[in-house]
Amino acid sequence: EDKVVQSPLSLVVHEGDTVTLNCSYEVTNFRSLLWYKQEKKAPTFLFMLTSSGIEKKSGRLSSILDKKELFSILNITATQTGDSAVYLCAVPRGYAGNMLTFGGGTRLMVKP
């Protein structure tokens, strides 16, 4: 059974701090790993990491994938209050489609 575990469960930082969120996974057939940000309702897509794309960066956010050790990290530098959200990590199961197995999420709170 596929499994995704995220840590820490929650995190409180101050604006300007750098945070690292962790995601470890066990899947039968690895195709990709996805990061989503969920502020109030709909998760919004951040990154997809695959065997051919193990490092992604967008502004202050970056993510890497370690396929050997089966984990991924999401880094946020110079955090802002708008980064406060739940960050979800997910892996698709099977050989096609987007039946996703999600981790429990990390709740990040950025204080002014």
Partner 1 sequence: DGGITQSPKYLFRKEGQNVTLSCEQNLNHDAMYWYRQDPGQGLRLIYYSQIVNDFQKGDIAEGYSVSREKKESFPLTVTSAQKNPTAFYLCASSIPWARENTEAFFGQGTRLTVV
Residues within the interface to partner 1 (CB under 8 A): 4, 6, 9, 31-32, 34, 36, 41-45, 48, 50, 88, 90, 92, 95-105, 107
**Between 96 and 112, whose beta carbon lies closer to partner 1?**
96
Query: Smallest distance from the beta carbon of 31 to partner 1, in angstroms?
Result: 6
CA–CA gap between residue 101 and residue 16 (Å, rounded):
32
Query: Smallest distance from the beta carbon of 16 to partner 1, in angstroms?
Result: 27
CA–CA gap between residue 15 and residue 80 (Å, rounded):
5
CA–CA gap between residue 70 and residue 20 (Å, rounded):
16
